[in-house]
Structure formats: C-alpha cells, structure tokens
Amino acid sequence: MKKKLLRYTSLAFIVILLIIICEFSLRPVAKIGSKTVRMHELLSYAIKNTEYETERMAEDIALERLAEEAGVKVYEIENEVLQLEMNRNKGKKLCRKVILHQRLIEKYAAEITVTAEEARKYYEEHKDQYGGTEPEFERIKHDIQMESGTEKYEELFEKIMTENEVQILN
C-alpha cells in the first residue's frame, strides 16, 4: 500500500512539474507585430552555441591567468574590449539586414515585367546614366526591375513599420 501511494505521489509530482515547465516555456515574453515570442524560443536562441561558448570560456580563463602571471592588468582593457565587441555585433546585424534587404528587393524585382517600349522610354529619360552608349535590353530591364523592386520594398516595409507596434509582455 505504501509503495503504491509513494508511486502515485511521485507520478503526481512529475505531472505537476511537467505542467509548470510547460507553462513556463510556453509563456509569451514579447510580441513583435503579429509574432508572439515564447520563453522556449528565447531560451533556445540564447543557448544555441553552448559547447562553443564553453570552449571560449576555458580559453578566456587561461588567457587571463597568463596575463595575471605576466603582470598585465586585464581590467585596464575592458573599455577597449567592450567597444570592439559592440562594433562587431553591430557589423553582423548590419550585414544580416543588408543581405535580407537585397534579397527582398531582388524578389520584388523579379515580379516586374518590362516591355521593349518601357525600356526605350526609361533609356531616353536616363541616358546620362549609361555614358552615352545604348546598353542591351537586358541591362535596362534589370535597372527598371531593381528600381521598381526597391520602391515596392520601401512601400511594404513602411506599411509594416506603421502597422505593427512592439510590445514587451510581463
């Protein structure tokens, strides 16, 4: 009888623990436009590279110990380190944005159909852009498509930015 009671108590404890874990991991922590970010997504993002980070941490500890033994003051370079790290992170984010921006423009550009008449008119309006020599139809077509793709991207991006507000959930 005691074994059954202990088994059921243990099972109930496990079920309650699983419910708490699920409640915690499925809890919304932010809303960006129509996208709800849940705790498990945030945690997953934060711990993607655990093994890599552990190896870097071991290297950092060894380096700091070596610096300490050599009399180099690690705390004196912290501001330089922080500045370099901020610049690197800004660079990565900027590269991601530029690539995504370009892919969207290319996608919208590919949807544009250009006739020979439209290309001729565009060329006449932008002759100085081509250095006086008339380029092939494909070059003009590409230029029109990229210009139109950029306009569509900017219009859609602005629409999304004005429609969506970022909310931090507690």
Q: In angstroms, what CA-CA distances link 153 with 36, 96, 103, 105?
A: 24, 16, 10, 6
For 8-56, the pLDDT digits (tens) are 677 777 777 767 766 767 778 777 666 777 777 766 766 665 666 667 7
Q: In the chain, which residues have pLDDT < 50?
A: none
Helix (H, G, I), strand (E, B) or coil at 169: coil
Q: Are 156 and 20 in contact (CB under 8 A)?
A: no
Q: Is residue 131, in this structure, part of any structural domain at all? A: yes
The count of structural domains within the chain is 1
Q: Is residue 127, in this structure, part of any structural domain at all? A: yes
pLDDT score for 77 = 77
Q: Is residue 3, in this structure, part of any structural domain at all? A: no
pLDDT score for 111 = 95
2 strand-pairing partners: none
Q: Which domain holds residue 156?
A: 88-170
Q: Is residue 15, in this structure, part of any structural domain at all? A: no
Q: Are 165 and 32 in contact (CB under 8 A)?
A: no
pLDDT score for 142 = 93
Q: Is residue 106, in this structure, part of any structural domain at all? A: yes
d(C-alpha 21, C-alpha 27), whole Å? 10
Query: Which amino acid is present at 153?
Result: Y
Q: What is the mean pLDDT of the chain?
A: 80
pLDDT score for 109 = 94
**Whats the size of the chain, residue-wise?**
170
pLDDT score for 93 = 85
Q: Is residue 10, in this structure, part of any structural domain at all? A: no
Q: Return the H-helix or E-strand segment holding 16.
A: helix 2-25
d(C-alpha 130, C-alpha 119), whole Å? 13
pLDDT score for 158 = 84
Q: What is the dihedral of CA 89, 90, 96, 98, to 10 degrees?
A: -160
pLDDT score for 2 = 67
Q: Are 104 and 152 in contact (CB under 8 A)?
A: no
